[in-house]
Amino acid sequence: MKYINIPDGIEKSIPFIIEDRHCISRLDEGLPTVLATFVIVEWIEIVSALILFDYIDSEWLTVGSNINIDHLAIAVPGQVLMVETKIVERHRGDVLFNAVASVGAKIISRATHRRTLVPRKIIDRQISKEKVL
What's the pTM?
A: 0.91
The answer on pLDDT for 56 being more than 80 is yes
Q: In the 3-class helix/strand/coil scheme, how is 78-98 assigned residue by residue?
A: CCEEEEEEEEEEEECCEEEEE
> For residues 132 and 113, which has the higher predicted lDDT (pLDDT)?
113
pLDDT at residue number 4: 58
The answer on pLDDT for 54 being more than 80 is yes
Which fold does the domain 2-130 belong to in CATH? Thiol Ester Dehydrase; Chain A (3.10.129)
Longest dimension (CA), the chain: 50
What pLDDT, in 10s, does the model give residues 59-111?
Answer: 999 999 999 999 999 999 999 999 999 999 998 889 999 999 999 999 999 99
Q: What residues form DSSP beta bridges with 114?
A: 66, 96
* Mean pLDDT of the residues in the chain: 93
Q: How confident is the model at residue 7 (pLDDT cuts 50, 70, 90)?
A: confident
The answer on pLDDT for 133 being more than 90 is no
Q: What angle do CA 112, 116, 80 make, to 5 degrees?
A: 45
